[in-house]
Amino acid sequence: MNPPNVTITGNKISGCYNGISVGCWGSWNNPMQTIQNNLIVNNSVGIMISVYEGGLGPDIESNTIVNNSVGIQIGYAFGNNSPVLNSTIANNNIYGNGNYNFKNQVPTTITAANNWWGTTDTQTISQAIYDYYDDFNVGVVTYYPFLTGPNPQAPTYVPSTSWQVTPTPTPTPISTQAPNSTVTPTPPPTPIQTPNSTSTPTPTSTQPPAQTSTLHATTDKGAIVDIPITGNITTAQMSNVIVATNQSATTTIIQFALTGQNGTVGFSNMTIPKNEVPYGKTPTIYIDEQVAPNQGNAQDANNYYVWFTTHFSSHQIAIKFTSTSNTEPKQTQTQPSLFEVTFGIGAGIAIAAIIVTALILITKDRKTKTS
């Protein structure tokens, strides 16, 4: 018998250790779990997801998760060390949580794109997310692309002082007995109006606003290639940009040096014309010769679109385009074995001995005929 599906919606949850706690059990037939349109505030952890052997996680959508110590936390159940979480976490307003807006404690990548994090500044967003860049033993939390404003379909959060409006009582008029016995009532205080709701802007895009600049790369033949880029990484931070090709290996590599202020996070989205990539069809981004943990790509008829994020210091970036198979197999050269060398030398000596013996016999024959 399959367990029933569960939907948690339309609640205000506050004052708890875990506002909502969900377990994902890979060996069980998990029900469909949906957490949506909830206001989750003032808890230790807003939403806690415990993963055991992976499994189907909850769909967390259109919630407002504010003012908790941790907004959303992904953790282990019973010490499991190889969980895989299949969960949709999108269109939520997750911001203003004391320690972290999102905390990943499992070693797999978690996708939390298309949420509003209270800002469009990628450095501020990243600092409020605990993941691979804080602990190499856990996975990356992918938060890009993100909403550029609050989701108006999620509950609106206003400070706790406005949750309950207590009307100001009108005091009983106090009469003042004047000598002429005229009673003068004290006027009631002017009522103070409390706004009923806070207007929220409608998000217009899931991409942060960014200006496009052009990176100039040099090919191995000396030609200049223009590569449009967006993001908070500027062309001034990129140097020695080279496009190198290798026909025999059917690869094209775009490489450059990247520098930035230590402790900050950089993001770049690069548009690479396909006609500048003669070899290779699949891009992979390497940072200091290691595969970048947070990267992605797409393509259309004319361009490749590749993006990555990195924590700044000084790095060497390489975007390597490879083919699934090489149509021209490499020819290999092998060194002769010791047996082959010995046999060759022995054969040469034997041939030389035969020639010398023949010459001696010919010389003796001539001397006999002469005498």
Residue range 104-109: average pLDDT? 86
Report yes or no: 26 and 57 within 8 Å, Cβ to Cβ: no
Residue type, 322: T
* Residue predicted with more confidence, 204 or 48: 48
Check whether 209 has a pLDDT greater than 50.
Answer: no
Q: How confident is the model at residue 272 (pLDDT cuts 50, 70, 90)?
A: very high
Q: Which helix (DSSP H) or strand (DSSP E) does residue 132 occupy? A: none
Instruction: Name the phi and psi angles at 359, rounded to 5.
Output: -65, -40
Task: Judge contact between 54 and 83, C-beta under 8 A.
Answer: yes
The rounded percent of the chain whose pLDDT value lies above 70 is: 67
Contact indicator for 110, 141 with CB cutoff of 8 Å:
yes
CA distance 338 to 335: 9
Residues 6+ apart with CB under 8 A from 348: none
The mean per-residue pLDDT over the stretch 135-149 comes to 90
Query: Which residue, 312, 317, 313, is CA-closest to 255?
Result: 317
Tokens of 218: 């040099």
CA 187 to chain centre: 63
Cα gap 150→203, rounded to integer Å = 6
pLDDT tens for 23-64 read: 766 545 555 679 999 999 999 999 998 876 656 678 899 999
Q: Is the pLDDT of residue 266 over 70?
A: yes
- Nearest alpha carbon to residue 236 among 219, 262, 263, 257: 257
Note the pTM of the prediction, 2 decimals.
0.47
What is the reported pLDDT for 206? Answer: 39
Q: Contact, 196 vs 139, CB < 8 A?
A: no
| Confidence check: pLDDT of 80 > 80 | no
Residue 236, SS3 per DSSP: helix
How far is residue 215's CA from residue 228's CA, in Å, rounded to a whole number? 6
* Interval 233-254 mean pLDDT: 88
Between 195 and 347, the more confident residue is 347
